[in-house]
Amino acid sequence: MLSESFVASLLTSNSTHSTSATLKDVGICVQEFRPNPSLQLGFKKSTTEPNCLAVNKGHIFAVQAGKAVVHVYSRERNNHEATVPFPERIRSIALVGEGILVLGTEGGKLMLWEVCTGRQVMTPATHLQPVTSLVVDPTNNFILSGSEDSNIHVWSLPDLISFSKPSSADQSLSASYSHSPIRTISNHATAITSIAVGHSINRSNIAISTSRDGTAVVWEYRTGKILHTYLLPSQPLCLAVDPADRAFYVGYEDGSVQLVDFFKTQSVQHVLHDADHQATPTQLPVGDKWLPPSSELGATICLSLSYDGTSLLSGHRSGAVASWDVGRARYGASVASLNSPVTNLHMLEPTGLPQKPGRVTIHQIVKPRLDHGLTGGQSAVDAVPATYHVNVHLNASYTKPEPSSSVLHDFSATLSHPSFPSSLISESLLDLYSSSENTSKNRTALPIQMETSSQPESSARMESLEAEIKSLKKQLSTQKSTHQSDVAQIIKLRDHNAELSDLNSELLSQQQAAEKQRAEKRVKLEERARKRREAWFEAEKKGHNGDKLMKDMESEEDSELESSDNEMSD
């Protein structure tokens, strides 16, 4: 049976609602949308802000609000897999395919983390303020980043993750350029609230961005050409693009939703590519907004569309997930009522349809490590470093052999085999033995010579080859066990390193708290000294003994400090 589900993340740190027993401490929910809306799964102890959730086939990545930490949840095992710390606070994330997580930082940088290798690439701080919106195009070649500085940068993903050295004479300048955006859009006046891209993979694919200045701009991210500007009736918070790129939807602060139809304007050609309409902005009427049934829903924080595009889901500040009927242009029903503001919605692929298996599967992520050979975009040589290891599972069902290509079938079978095939070892040993015994001229005659040789000689040769194969198998087993022990030791060291990092962060927070306490104490002492001086002057003006008054005040302060110290020790 065909069914649709979605993943919803919550801002639990801003919860103002009563906590039910089912949703207690739940920060991420997997909810069925059709045919029967119901809660399927919940992950606890997570709180995420808008644009801070990413989902692929195997994992859920959630940035923790106000922290430089990403929680990773396994969809296969339905548990919390890892807590990954980063050097800067994260404000937005997006996935490139299945294996690269892009993170926008508080300082205006981009970090790219290859989850199956642990490699981490960081760009310079090209944004002047935090990166609050990230999106990847359907071809996985471009990254669009929006910031509170009102600018949108377009990045080339191959340039960011390439191991190749700069080709120009000035390598430092070329390296800096390879980690810079290829173009910038500056048509907004204030902070960017949301970015979305169309579903096309040709050169005319569109991008849509909204800003707190009340505008929505449609443009081509490959060329930077501005196609059209829409003046919105309210301040937008989020948007979603129709599956056929015919329109987009905007969510507002008052909980309403508005449909912006590209084809509503009469034009001979597509309105976005009509030169007569590109220069004139379009004012959207207030009456076209789809109003919620009650103002208690709160602001529309996130939007997502169903698989067929007939239903629009919206997450609200009240914790409600609402469904809107696109055909009837009105509110449909409440899908879920959660405890905290719903900050992100991600629709999953519908189950019940035939799906093509992927080439690889990532069962376990590899945490980013501080390896200078892997963290940079350019290596010391124009090649992949020797320490670069990919931790993925090759799917044997992906490559289907063609009847006319037996070589490709053998290669695919070998590539997808769980271990090195023994038949291939035997063939390789036989080929190695024949190459050492025969010259290149009579190498083709080897099969005939083997067939015409005497039976005792052939059997003796086969026995020696079998003995050599057994010896090689024994060596292979020993090497495999050694490799497994090395891997276990590496994993143990990585866990120990993570524990040390957590301990360092805790000690740093304690040091900061102690410094803050000392500064507060110093301010109090200075304030008391100022009051004593003022009291001394006042007493002297009135003809009293100012020194005696100061001694009395000092004794009172000492007694107060002693009592406060006793209370803190208790």
120 strand-pairing partners: 113
Mean per-residue pLDDT, 32-38: 87
Mean per-residue pLDDT, 331-341: 90
Above 70 in pLDDT, residue 382?
no
Q: Which of 213, 214, 146, 138 is nearest to 184 (CA)?
A: 146
Helix or strand run (H / E) with residue 205: none
Above 70 in pLDDT, residue 165?
no
Above 50 in pLDDT, residue 442?
no
What pLDDT score was predicted for residue 361?
Answer: 84
Mean per-residue pLDDT, 176-187: 80
Q: Angle between the 546-569 and 455-541 helix axes, to the nearest 10 degrees?
A: 150
Q: Which of 72, 56, 68, 74 is nearest to 103 (CA)?
A: 68
What pLDDT score was predicted for residue 301?
Answer: 95
CB atoms < 10 A from the CB of 78, how many?
12
**The two three-digit tokens of residue 306, written as one number:** 């169903």
Question: Among the listed ranges 147-156, 260-269, 428-437, which one has the minimum average pLDDT value?
Answer: 428-437
Alpha-carbon distance of 23 to 338, in angstroms, equals 7
Percent of the chain at pLDDT > 70 equals 82
Question: Among the listed ranges 131-145, 322-336, 468-482, which one has the minimum average pLDDT value?
Answer: 468-482
Q: Angle between the 455-541 and 422-437 helix axes, to the nearest 10 degrees?
A: 120
How confident is residue 453, by pLDDT bands cut at 50, 70 and 90?
very low
What pLDDT score was predicted for residue 206?
Answer: 93
The residue ranking higher by pLDDT, 176 or 244, is: 244
Q: What angle do CA 133, 199, 394 make, to 5 degrees?
A: 90
SS3 510: helix
Cα dihedral: 259, 260, 261, 264 (round 10): 110
CATH of 4-361, one of 3.30.530.20, 1.10.260.40, 2.130.10.10, 1.10.760.10: 2.130.10.10
Most confident of 62-76, 156-170, 526-540: 62-76
155 strand-pairing partners: 143
What pLDDT score was predicted for residue 178?
Answer: 61
Mean per-residue pLDDT, 464-491: 85
What pLDDT score was predicted for residue 232?
Answer: 94
What pLDDT score was predicted for residue 209?
Answer: 96
Q: Evaluate if pTM is beyond 0.85.
A: no
The β-bridge relationship of strands 69-74 and 79-85 is antiparallel
Q: Where do the domains of the chain lie?
A: 4-361, 473-570
How confident is residue 443, by pLDDT bands cut at 50, 70 and 90?
very low
Question: Among the listed ranges 50-64, 418-432, 476-490, which one has the minimum average pLDDT value?
Answer: 418-432
The mean predicted confidence, pLDDT, of the chain is 82
End-to-end CA distance of the chain: 64
What pLDDT score was predicted for residue 35?
Answer: 86
What pLDDT score was predicted for residue 463?
Answer: 83
Contact indicator for 240, 304 with CB cutoff of 8 Å? yes
**The two three-digit tokens of residue 37, written as one number:** 């809306």
